[in-house]
Structure 1
Amino acid sequence: MKTKFLILVAVVALLAACKGKSSKDYEFINDRSAAMADTVAGADSTKMPAEKLVKTSDINIKVKDVRLAGEEIASLTKAYGGMVMHHQVQSTARPAHDVHISSDSIMRIAAYSTTADMMVRVPSEKLEEFTAKVSRMGIYVNMSRMDIEDKTLDYLAAQLKLKDRQELVSQQRRGKIKIKNPTDVLLLKDDMVDHKIENLRTDAAVKFSLVSLNFYQGDSILKEVIANDDPSVYNIPFFQRLGLAVADGWLLFIDIVIALANMWVLILCGLFLWRSFIYYKRQLRKTQAPAA
């Protein structure tokens, strides 16, 4: 019987410990129901905020000149009180064709395409008017899209969470709630800052809409005269080359004469052997003639 009683006491103590942990170490030292009633009453009194509509738009158009179109869009954005957040122009060249127009010059003909990406921010109330004017800048529109996302409930949820945390901090300061772990206080305040920043970001997105623009132009042909990069085609004028050839021939003749002068002994030996061979053949013919 005593054993069963001890087991029952242990179970009750365990449940009490679990209940204490589940409240995130927040300890109410006064009337718990009164504190919670204050929080719920504050949450119920929160009014529905104004509509928080976040507008975004995407446009893809073909224009006559990418550079001029980019300048016009930037000027239009500034006129509406907006800002260019991103602007990138890129040209892609195809394989070039070289035409030889002289011995040292080449005309390089290349086709290239130019595209541009822009991200602009304009007041939301002027979004439709802005996108209509941008669309009229192009030759034709490939794609135009506008999205509207309702962030009202998300904004309200962040407001309620922030208010609950502010009320909790207020009760903690008044002594109605005691937070055992100081780290929890820092986490609670950080969470409050996050909700404030989230709502500020939503307000900015509601006030200004982001427009993503992509535009391009038809392929262009570029003709460029450049120097021939083949060293073998660069020669001096004809008469100068002829004079150098004569001079080289004379130098070669002199080298041959000098080489022959260096080999005079071999030349004499060769002449002696040749004359000896001729003499031998003559003597051989004379010897064979009487016998015939």
Structure 2
Amino acid sequence: MKMSNLLVLLAALCLLGACKGSPDRYESLNKADSASITTDSINTDSVQSRLVKTAAMEMKVADVQKSCESITHLTRSYHGLVMHHHMKAVTEGSQRIHLNKDSILLVSAFSTAADMTVRIPSDSLEQFVSQVGHMGLRVDVRQMDVEDKTLDYLEASLKQSNRSQIVHQQNTGKLKFEDPTQVVTLKDDITSEKIANKRIDAAVKNSVVDISLYQNNTIMKETIANDDTDNYRISFWSRIGLALSSGLTMFTDVVVLLTNLWLFAIAGGLIWLLVKWYKRKRLPTSPALKI
């Protein structure tokens, strides 16, 4: 019982001490919060708006190649930059017409399309899009978007400022980190926030426009060489003449071959005579019949 009374008394003393020290603590926290809120409001009011403009167009033109060249010249006149350009022709169908044994008329139908990505100063975006639209026969898609990056820019700036203050306190010795890699991480985060803000500034200064172009199918005729080797044959009489010439050549070759074998012919004749003489010599001589 005495032990329980002692515990109650200790708890009451602790509660009383906490109540006495809490007003100063809460007051300091309130002052810090009010100071931070005032700083945030000042930074928010001082940051200019960051509006990122983008546009996209899809249109039909008379000639894709000439339109791409015109858009390129127009982009340069606005001190812009062509960031991407891709033009492709796809064969839709073809037909081969034989003109003679070594020539073919190739008739092809193909479609041509191109994709371009250009960067234009944001102040001239509307004027540029209007001029590009006048180059086409028909504008299928014309889109323009504006994205507000002000809060993103402000968030990155505040994070960068907070991290910079912590790094400054660490450099002056007011704050120490147990793990040195935490300082490196903070510095990397500061660099990332700076790069993010530079990207936003670049996107605000210059707008990106995506342009897609296409045209009607084009018919092209061209005379090409016949690539079928079976058609390249000589005439009948020429083949007959070549056959006679080839036969005569074979006959002369045989005669020359036999001429080269003259020594073997003589040796064979001598052997044949010796064999014949030997056979006659071995035949028995029959006695003369008496009458």
Length-normalised TM-score, structure 2: 0.70
Q: How does 1:81-100 map to 2 (within 5 A)?
A: 81-100=79-98
Q: How does 1:94-109 map to 2 (within 5 A)?
A: 94-109=92-107
In 1, distance between residues paired with 2:205 and 2:48? 13
- Look up the equivalent residue of 1:170 and give its one-letter code: H
1:50, distance to aligned residue in structure 2 (A): 1.1
- Look up the equivalent residue of 1:125 and give its one-letter code: D
Match of 2:43 in 1: 46
Q: 1:237 to 1:102 in 2, by over 3 A?
A: same
Deviations 1:113-164, CA, capped at 9 Å, x for gaps: 1111111000001000001111111110111101110001111111111111
Q: What SS class does the counterpart of residue 109 from structure 1 fall into?
A: strand
- Look up the equivalent residue of 1:82 and give its one-letter code: G
Length-normalised TM-score, structure 1: 0.69
Q: What SS class does the counterpart of residue 68 from structure 2 fall into?
A: helix
* Kept after mapping to 1: 8 A contact 2:59/2:137: yes
Deviations 1:157-199, CA, capped at 9 Å, x for gaps: 1111111111222223333322221111110111011101000
Q: What SS class does the counterpart of residue 209 from structure 2 fall into?
A: strand
Match of 1:173 in 2: 171
Match of 1:133 in 2: 131
Match of 2:228 in 1: 230
* Kept after mapping to 2: 8 A contact 1:43/1:164: no
In 2, distance between residues paired with 1:125 and 1:78? 15
* Kept after mapping to 1: 8 A contact 2:93/2:110: no
1:232, distance to aligned residue in structure 2 (A): 1.9
> Unaligned stretches of 5+ in structure 2?
8-27, 251-291
1:95, distance to aligned residue in structure 2 (A): 3.2
* Kept after mapping to 2: 8 A contact 1:39/1:164: no
* Kept after mapping to 1: 8 A contact 2:53/2:146: yes
Q: 1:169 to 1:34 in 2, by over 3 A?
A: farther
In 2, distance between residues paired with 1:188 and 1:37? 26
Identity rate, percent? 43
In 2, distance between residues paired with 1:109 and 1:119? 33
Q: Which moved more, 1:198-207 or 1:57-66?
A: 57-66
Q: What SS class does the counterpart of residue 75 from structure 2 fall into?
A: helix
In 2, distance between residues paired with 1:82 and 1:68? 19
Match of 2:190 in 1: 192
Match of 2:275 in 1: none
Q: 1:142 to 1:54 in 2, by over 3 A?
A: same
Q: How does 1:135-174 map to 2 (within 5 A)?
A: 135-174=133-172
Q: Which moved more, 1:170-179 or 1:107-116?
A: 170-179
The one of 200, 204, 207 aligned to 1:206 = 204
1:237, distance to aligned residue in structure 2 (A): 4.2
Match of 2:75 in 1: 77
- Look up the equivalent residue of 2:159 and give its one-letter code: K
In 1, distance between residues paired with 2:33 and 2:80? 46
Q: What SS class does the counterpart of residue 48 from structure 2 fall into?
A: coil
> Unaligned stretches of 5+ in structure 1?
6-30, 253-292
Deviations 1:29-75, CA, capped at 9 Å, x for gaps: xx999988876664454243111000111100111111111111111
* Kept after mapping to 1: 8 A contact 2:163/2:186: yes
In 2, distance between residues paired with 1:175 and 1:42? 25
State the superposition RMSD in angstroms.
3.0
Q: 1:38 to 1:181 in 2, by over 3 A?
A: farther
1:223, distance to aligned residue in structure 2 (A): 1.0
Q: What SS class does the counterpart of residue 153 from structure 2 fall into?
A: helix
In 1, distance between residues paired with 2:158 and 2:128? 35
Q: 1:146 to 1:245 in 2, by over 3 A?
A: same
Match of 2:62 in 1: 64
**1:111 and 2:109 matched:** yes
